[in-house]
Structure 1
Amino acid sequence: MPRIPYEEAKAKYQMWNEAEDAIATGSSYSIADRSLTRADMATVLMMKRKYGRIVDAYENGGKRRSRTAGFYPVDR
């Protein structure tokens, strides 16, 4: 199991999900001669994926989904 508590991982996943939405609406803005640039989308997606995997590990009991869809043996 991951070392971060489930509640914290879930909160951070939600935070990065909201950051993704914020970047989609505009990546920078300015107020009163000050400008702010948000993080780039690649960083946000990387962190969202990281915390999403941690949350999945907690919710699935540490078991990963199999990537094998089907296996068909062939005689030669």
Structure 2
Amino acid sequence: MPRISYEEAQAKYLMWNEAEDAIATGSSYSIADRSLTRADMDTVLMMKRKYGRIVDAYENGGKRRSRTAGFYPVDR
């Protein structure tokens, strides 16, 4: 399990989600001493993905969901 608590990870995920919404509408967003603009959207999405994975790990008991829905071999 990650070293951050579920509540902390969820709070950070929500914070980065708010930043994404603010930047998407054209305004800037400030976190601590850093101001983020539209050009920083890659950073925001990366951090949102990071904390989203931590929240998912807590909610799924540390088990990752399979990315493959099904695999059907085709003989050619």
**Range of TM-score over shorter length:** 0.7 to 0.9
Unaligned runs of 5+ in 1: none
Alpha carbons of 1:14 and 1:36: their partners in 2 closer, same or farther (altered >3 Å)? closer
| TM-score, normalised via structure 1 length | 0.77
Give the number of equivalent residue pairs: 76
User: Which protein has greater RCO, CA pairs closer than 8 Å, 6+ apart?
Assistant: 1
Supply the distance in 1 between the matched residues of 2:11 and 2:31 (Cα, whole angstroms): 29
Give me the whole-angstrom Cα distance separating, in 1, the residues matched to 2:66 and 2:18.
29
CA contact (8 A) 2:23 2:36 kept: no
Instruction: Quote the Cα distance in structure 2 between the aligned partners of 1:41 and 1:4.
Output: 24
Output the CA distance in 1 between the equivalents of 2:32 and 2:12.
Answer: 30
Q: Larger radius of gyration, structure 1 or 2?
A: 1
Distance in structure 2 (CA, Å) of the matches to 1:65 and 1:32: 33
After the TM superposition, list the runs of 4 or more consecutive aligned residues in structure 1 that deviate by more than 6 angstroms.
29-36
Call closer, same or farther: CA 1:39–1:18 in 2, change over 3 Å. farther
